[in-house]
């Protein structure tokens, strides 16, 4: 029996580590950035391109695929891997965050799930009910239902359904939230064991999700609850919900030291390049975020800074690039940077040509995956501390 997660090397000056995730669809070298394929596609790029650029795993969205085209259809197609033409590992989220973000909070209850009125979101010990965004139909998502959907999708790593408190949220609300998540986690684990025993998806691993807002004692309570159930790995949730970055780092500081060393840690919804570097230094192994693809659609490109001092963000729509016939990033080996100029990309965005979005997305994803490759080399040769310093300097 193979070990699902193995640590290959630890950084002597931080909590960072090199490791490997072994799944039914191949290995993932960690630390790893996981591009988001929300609706069975990483926007405007192909699975073959992702593999060529070095992506080890993608993350797909349980909520969206459940509602359209439906997890049963995908199961009948042979599972998500065959359906989208990606033969590498896939992680699926639980749908909890999407339900959380269905509607804008009322000002009176900003950041509180009880304040979200537009889509009638109701959280209870049973599960969560809501109106679907497309047609307004009433839907109910339970811990068991979320696990069943993810099993039908055939993902390699599934996540439990969790209640996601916003920011800011009262302590009273967060206490209620983690207790609901704990109850859901127990039911999710039990259902996952049942369907795994039935060989529905025997190789699928299950992660617990740690909540607790930005209270140290509540984070510790949540992680102890997850540890008591026993999961294959952990996801740290409830961050990237509008809080300052320093608060997210605090969560990692008083969460990660209390987790089992031999289990992988995924940081949900993070983040910018400096947040990835900091998260790895604090002991996280995998990450997912929409930033590289979302920013690309708005003409914002990540570009290496001089002398390796982190990076900068280029807004290609600015007038100064109109006659700039240099590459977007002369250190980058993506298709955009080796074939086109800043002036050409600016023209594509100004003309609303779809190729502009595609080229920018290709570049940003390659930038993120190249960053992970640099981090791997730095950890291997014990120079990661210099990277951490450079990205902190960039932040300042």
**Residue stretches of the annotated binding site for Zn(2+):** 332, 334, 337, 363
Task: Judge contact between 213 and 169, C-beta under 8 A.
Answer: yes
| Non-local CB neighbours of 160 within 8 Å, separated by 6+ positions | 94, 143, 146, 147, 181, 184, 185, 188, 189, 206, 207, 208, 209, 231
Tell the residue number behind the tokens 């684990």, with chain if given: 189
Task: Judge contact between 17 and 271, C-beta under 8 A.
Answer: no
The dihedral through the CA atoms of 50, 76, 60, 298 has a sign that is positive
Task: Judge contact between 313 and 301, C-beta under 8 A.
Answer: yes
Annotated catalytic sites, by residue? Answer: 93, 288
Q: 210 burial class (0-12, 13-18, 19+ CB within 10 angstroms)?
A: buried
Q: Annotate 234-291 with DSSP letters as a single string.
A: EEE-S-SSS--HHHHHHHHHTTGGGS-TTS-EEETT---HHHHHHHHHTT--EEE-SH
Tokens of 75: 């199961």
Task: Judge contact between 93 and 59, C-beta under 8 A.
Answer: yes
Task: Judge contact between 81 and 87, C-beta under 8 A.
Answer: yes
């Amino acid at each position: 029996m193979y070990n699902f997660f193995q640590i290959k090397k630890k950084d002597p000056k931080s909590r960072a580590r090199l490791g490997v995730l072994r799944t039914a669809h191949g290995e993932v070298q960690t630390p790893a950035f996981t591009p988001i394929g929300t609706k069975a596609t990483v926007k405007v790029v192909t699975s073959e391109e992702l593999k060529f650029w070095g992506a080890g795993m993608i993350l797909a969205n349980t909520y969206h695929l459940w509602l359209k085209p439906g997890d049963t259809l995908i199961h009948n197609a042979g599972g998500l891997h065959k359906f989208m033409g990606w033969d590498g590992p896939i992680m699926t989220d639980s749908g909890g965050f999407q339900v959380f973000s269905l509607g804008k909070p009322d000002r009176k209850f900003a950041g509180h799930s009880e304040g979200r009125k537009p889509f009638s979101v109701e959280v209870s010990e049973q599960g969560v009910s809501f109106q679907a965004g497309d047609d307004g139909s009433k839907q109910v998502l339970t811990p068991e239902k979320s696990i069943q959907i993810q099993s039908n999708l055939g993902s390699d790593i599934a996540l439990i359904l969790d209640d996601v408190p916003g920011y800011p949220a009262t302590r009273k609300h967060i206490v209620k939230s983690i207790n609901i998540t704990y109850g859901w986690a127990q039911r999710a684990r039990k259902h996952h064991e049942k369907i795994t025993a039935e060989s529905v998806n025997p190789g699928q691993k299950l992660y617990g999700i740690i909540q607790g807002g930005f209270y140290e004692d509540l984070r510790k309570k949540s992680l102890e609850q997850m540890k008591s159930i026993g999961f294959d790995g952990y996801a740290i949730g409830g961050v990237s919900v509008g809080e300052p970055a320093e608060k997210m780092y605090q969560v990692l500081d008083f969460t990660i030291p209390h987790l089992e060393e031999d289990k992988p840690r995924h940081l949900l919804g993070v983040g910018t390049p400096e947040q990835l570097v900091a998260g790895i230094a604090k002991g996280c192994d995998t990450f997912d975020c929409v930033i590289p693809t979302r920013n690309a659609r708005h003409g914002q490109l990540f570009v290496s800074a001089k002398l390796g001092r982190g990076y900068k963000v280029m807004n290609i729509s600015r007038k100064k690039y109109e006659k700039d016939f240099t590459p977007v990033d002369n250190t980058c080996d993506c298709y955009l940077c080796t074939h086109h100029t800043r002036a050409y990309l600016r023209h594509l965005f100004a003309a609303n040509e779809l190729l502009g979005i595609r080229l920018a997305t290709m570049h940003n994803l390659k930038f993120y995956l190249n960053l992970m490759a640099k981090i791997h080399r730095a950890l291997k040769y014990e120079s990661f501390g210099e990277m951490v310093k450079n990205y902190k300097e960039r932040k300042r």
